[in-house]
Amino acid sequence: MRALILVLLLLASTQLILLTARDYAPQELEVLPQRYDADNSGVASIALGETHACAIGTDSQMKCWGDGTYGKTGHENDADYGDEGGEMGRYLLFTDVGVGLTFSDVALGLDFTCALLNDASVKCWGENEHLGSSAGASDTGAKGDGYLEMGDNVEVVALGYWNATAIAGGSHHACAIVNDGASDSLVCWGQNGFGQLGLGSTDTIGDTDADLVSGELPHVDLPDRGEGLTQVALGNSHTCVLWDDGKMACWGDNSEGQLGVGSTDDIGDEAEEMGDDLVLVDLPAGRTATAIEAGEDMTCAILDDGSLACWGNGADGRLGNEGISNEGDDPSELGDDLNIVDLGSGLSVVAVEVGAATSCAILDDGDSETADTVKCWGLGDFGQLGTGNGNSMGDNQYEMGDYLETLDLGSDIHATAVEVGDAFACAMTNTSMVKCWGSGADGRTGLEKSGATGDESGEMGDDLAFVQLFMPEPTLDQPCDVEAEGDPLDATSLDSVSSYVGNKTATTLTSESCAGIVYVDDTNQAPKFGVYKAGKWALENIDDLAVDIHDVALTFDSNGLPHIAIMLDAEPHYYTKVDGEWTDASLSASWAGTAIDIEIDGTGDLFIFALDSTDVAIVRCTAASDCTDPANWAEVGTIAVTSGGYGLDSDIAFDGTLWIAYVDSTEGDHEVELSACSGTCGTIGNWQQVT
């Protein structure tokens, strides 16, 4: 079967199209149907970004779904999860950030995810400039969207000797409350165009080693108030903290008054704005905050009397002030005049969440015999308010207070936590299961569809399905050889930028029989790599060489590590992944040629075969060597080519024999020449031409 798959892959190598199975494979090889009787509980907490979501289980494991851009869902590809069948439940893989590490908390941004782990460290993946680890310098892409980039290869955020106790994510930045055993401090990283990192500048922090101070990220300059930090909350481009005494302060973008200081001046982007110069939010007299939240250009605080204050951008009624006016951008809108959201008589606010123009609160009526309820207001165009229509609420009179509908999650179902993203929301329920509604774009609601839910009648309550996570259940294996079974085969286009893509292509299989491919882009100067794993293709750029590529070759070792050989006009190059990142060695110019191939023998030694018009050079790097060091590649010897060799190929037989094949165009005749080695192939005398 392995040989059959190789033949099919080689047939596809003239174009960038690979073959996958239709859905009518033999019955015993069909993808198993979802086990709807499996345990779908076991969810401990949820978190939403703008377009993706994550859930942590009671066993401290985690699954993520939704928009996969930049690999932020951690599946080692950039595919969306949750918008099609066979992507959720037991098909949705657990997030892997390293051996022995489990999840304590998670924070999501627009294009990244950060996790607080059981060892008090923080790891982030997604778009590079938000990782806080110098893992990806500018222009190198992302972490988590490519092969072997997760697990132990996810770097820790550079917090030094400080232990993280809490994390939060904004659209383009993240923060962690850290403690050294004596006091709390705050570390923030990511974009900083409005001073949201609180460093008195607008420089992005965390994308290069130059940002580190004595090996760690700089700390936010907070006033010395003698109080610990209770919470940090991040909006699009602003940051707020809550101290243990119930006082709060915000900095960053203030274009809509979201900092609550009675102006629209940004704070934290210049010197002498942080530290003891930082202005505290003016709350109503005698009131303190017990919890804070920040969203798209707005901020909310639950006060110690159970009321809710919100300020900032008032568009779409998100502030619940029955209008669209901003609050907090003028001194007359602070203190006792701060906007207090009316959520109904006799109700106190237990929790609040703020997303992109939408807010939701969990409410308590004071009766221990009744369950808490949820009300949502603001933008409702995709049903994210859960009211069975697409109307916004809170921007007109008679829409708040007792007029505001209570969210219906179903019979005997109530929310214990609620989260809000961009046009969707999710609730953690008393059943330890999750329900999501609103826009299903990119699979963000996890309902295996891309359409909206909650914008029409008959979609909420008992009609709203639980998100299939099956946290206590093992994930279903999706072996690649199943995809190769059946007849006929479908052609799947992987890269269609232009008809020139893939003019140079090599294909092979991993040790798990999953297809791999290396090819060139439409300029013939940038090699690209792809692998099929767990039902999805992942494509990534290897390098941009800025010179024409003559040939490419690919093999995988028994651990699934890719090894790539590329022939340029001046010299061959070798590539592999080290800690999840592509690393290369520029090899000797004496091995330059027109064609190249690569193999691994039974001992783990790497062999590169380089063909020019006069000979085939055999080059070896032993298994015990670092093959990214050019000095560890040595020439075994050469096999003479009579005249004008081309069309090089190699393979390993079942008995371990290494074979080389090429075409010799002696005196106009085109003959296939073969050479083989079945002994110690690091000695040229063991290579014999076969007639």
Residue 175: per-residue pLDDT: 98
User: 63 in helix, strand or coil?
Assistant: strand
d(CA 567, CA 470): 47
Residue 646 banded pLDDT, cuts 50, 70, 90: confident
406 DSSP 8-state letter: P
List residues bridging with 45 in a β-sheet. Answer: 56
CB-neighbour burial class of residue 546 (10 A; exposed 0-12, middle 13-18, buried 19+): exposed
Helices (H) and strands (E) in the chain, counts: 2, 40
Could you tell me the CA-to-CA distances from 555 to 77, 515, 530, 531, 576 in Å, in that order? 20, 11, 12, 12, 10
Give the model confidence (pLDDT) of 462-513 as tens digits: 999 999 999 999 998 777 866 545 555 567 788 877 777 878 999 999 988 9
Q: Count of residues for the chain?
A: 691
DSSP 471-484: TTSPPPP--HHHHT
- Cα distance between residue 231 and residue 278, in whole Å: 17
Task: Find the CATH number of the domain harbouring 646.
Answer: 2.120.10.10
355-369, pLDDT tens digit by residue? Answer: 999 999 999 999 998
The stretch 417-432 carries a mean pLDDT of: 98
Amino acid, single-letter form, for residue 633: W
Over 60: is that where the pLDDT of 207 sits?
Answer: yes
Q: What is the pLDDT of residues 295-338, one digit of tens each?
A: 999 999 999 999 999 999 999 999 999 999 999 999 999 999 99
Structure tokens at 442: 């990119």
Residue 571 lies in a domain: yes
Residue 150 lies in a domain: no
Please report the pLDDT score of residue 209 as a whole number: 82
Instruction: Cite the beta strand spans of 315-389 per DSSP E.
Output: 348-354, 358-364, 373-378
Asked whether the predicted pLDDT for residue 403 surpasses 90, the reply is: yes
Rounded Cα distance between 680 and 243, Å, is 69
pLDDT of residue 664: 80
3-state secondary structure 625-643: CCCCCHHHCEEEEEEECCC
Predicted confidence at residue 492, as pLDDT, reads: 76
Distance from C-alpha of 169 to C-alpha of 50, rounded to nearest angstrom: 10
What was the pLDDT predicted at 479? 78
Return the amino acid letter for 133.
S
Give the number of domains in the chain.
Answer: 1
pLDDT tens for residues 159-187? 999 999 999 999 999 999 999 999 999 99
User: Which two three-digit tokens encode residue 146?
Assistant: 């490519």
Query: Residue 673: pLDDT band by 50, 70, 90 thresholds?
Result: confident
Whether residue 546 contacts residue 525, with contact meaning beta carbons closer than 8 Å, is answered with yes
User: Is position 563 within any domain?
Assistant: yes
| Residue 363 resides in a domain | no
CA end-to-end distance (rounded Å), the chain: 28
Given a contact cutoff of 8 angstroms between Cβ atoms, the answer to whether 592 and 571 are in contact is: yes
In angstroms, rounded to a whole number, what is the distance separating the alpha carbons of residues 232 and 167? 7
Task: State how far the alpha carbon of 293 is from the alpha carbons of 16, 237, 253, 306, in Å.
Answer: 48, 13, 15, 15
Contacts of 406 (CB under 8 A, 6+ apart): 373, 374, 375
pLDDT at residue number 136: 43
Task: Kindly indicate the confidence band of residue 25, based on its pLDDT and cuts at 50, 70 and 90.
Answer: very low
Taking only the tens place, the pLDDT of each residue in 68-121 is: 999 999 999 999 999 999 999 999 999 999 999 999 999 999 999 999 999 999
Identify residue 368 by its one-letter amino acid code: S
**pLDDT at residue 1 tops 80:** no
Is there a contact between 319 and 260 (Cβ–Cβ < 8 Å)? no
Answer for the pair 108, 52: CB distance below 8 angstroms, yes or no: yes
pLDDT in tens, 572-628: 999 999 999 999 999 999 999 999 999 999 999 999 999 998 899 999 999 999 999
Domain enclosing residue 589, as ranges? 505-690
Query: What order of strands is seen across the sheet that includes strand 173-179?
Result: 163-169, 173-179, 184-190
In the block, residue with structure tokens 């893939």: 502
Three-state DSSP state, 463: helix
Domain annotation covers residue 684: yes
Which one, of 275, 132, 270, lies nearest residue 202 by Cα?
270
Question: Is 423 domain-assigned?
Answer: no
Token pair in block for residue 476: 């279903």
Residue 21 confidence (pLDDT) above 80: no
Of the candidates 151, 133, 140, which has an alpha carbon nearest to the alpha carbon of residue 74?
151
Q: How many whole angstroms separate alpha carbon 14 and alpha carbon 646?
A: 16
Domain for residue 535, yes or no? yes
CA distance 94 to 473: 11
Reference 584, options 564, 602, 600; nearest CA is: 564
Nearest to 55 by CA among 470, 475, 536: 470
Confidence of residue 671 (pLDDT cuts 50, 70, 90): confident
Q: pLDDT at position 5, please? A: 37
Q: 668 pLDDT band (50/70/90 cuts)?
A: low
Percent of the chain with pLDDT over 90: 80
Residue 488: cis peptide before it, omega within 30 degrees of 0: yes
Give the per-residue pLDDT at 488: 54
Strands (E), 261-330: 289-295, 298-303, 308-312
As a whole number, mean pLDDT of residues 6-16 equals 38
Token pair in block for residue 421: 């993203």
Q: What is the DSSP string of 321-336?
A: SSS---BSSSGGGSGG
User: Could you give phi then psi for residue 152, rounded to 5 degrees?
Assistant: -65, -15
pLDDT of residue 501: 81
Strands (E), 487-592: 489-493, 505-509, 515-520, 527-533, 536-541, 549-556, 562-568, 572-578, 581-586
Sequence-distant (6+) residues with CB within 8 A of 631 are: none
Within 13 Å of residue 57, how many CA atoms lie on the same side as its CB? 20
Q: What is the DSSP letter of 225?
A: -
Question: Where is average pLDDT lowest: 316-330, 514-528, 633-647, 657-671?
Answer: 657-671
Decide if pLDDT at 422 tops 90.
Answer: yes
590 part of a folded domain: yes
